[in-house]
Chain A
Amino acid sequence: SAVISQKPSRDICQRGTSLTIQCQVDSQVTMMFWYRQQPGQSLTLIATANQGSEATYESGFVIDKFPISRPNLTFSTLTVSNMSPEDSSIYLCSAGDRAYEQYFGPGTRLTVT
């Protein structure tokens, strides 16, 4: 299994600013994903981070709001742009060599004021 770390673990940001979340995997992996989880809710997939190409976004999520980079097989970033209080959530990175066997990072708890 892969070990995944995320930075920052939490942050409090002002409305209108942007935050970039980093996801680092301890080994090369094929698949990396970004999720959002509201308190008491299940995980919502934001996008699949593709190495060397544009991320694949799920319905309701757009690149301008959530730009994603994946420069290599062990690292990805998610930026939450022009934040509003509705973006307050836990953001989770996951990774694995198979899309269906994913290992999750500890999450980034974002609060927008």
Chain B
Amino acid sequence: QKEVEQNSGPLSVPEGAIASLNCTYSDRGSQSFFWYRQYSGKSPELIMFIYSNGDKEDGRFTAQLNKASQYVSLLIRDSQPSDSATYLCTTGANSKLTFGKGITLSVRP
């Protein structure tokens, strides 16, 4: 069973809109969640992590964690074409990360 499921996408939004990327997880014991961004042909890069219930904001990015409902989200405000990439949400277990296929976001100019 996958630890985190990326259950939306591919996603296409117009420039300037809010992009909402959502994941659900099955293990209630999961404590921390991470969002990685991977541009086509490039390596993944860590963009956000969240450990506590609620929201965490960093510039145009907001990570949301709802432990009661077991979902984690990434909101991108004022989406730009440069945000077009695959976004990977993951949680840690057994001192390693397990990645799913990710959510592909396309921001239309």
A-B CB pair tally, cutoff 8 Å: 43
Total count of chain A residues near the partner, CB < 8 A? 18
Is there an interface contact between A104 and B43, defined as CB atoms closer than 8 Å? yes
B88 touches A99 (CB 8 A): no
The prevalent SS among residues of A at the interface is: strand
A54 to B43 CA separation, bound complex (whole angstroms):
26
B95 touches A92 (CB 8 A): no
Chain A residues closer than 8 Å to B32, beta-carbon distance: 100
Q: Which single member of A1, A45, A92, A106 contacts B96 (CB below 8 Å)?
A: A45
**Interface presence of B100 (CB below 8 A):** yes
C-alpha spacing A45/B97, complex, angstroms? 8
Q: Which residues of B contact A (CB under 8 A)?
A: 32, 34, 42-46, 49, 88, 91-92, 95-102
* Closest A-B pairs by Cβ, 5 of them: A100-B92, A104-B43, A99-B95, A43-B99, A42-B99
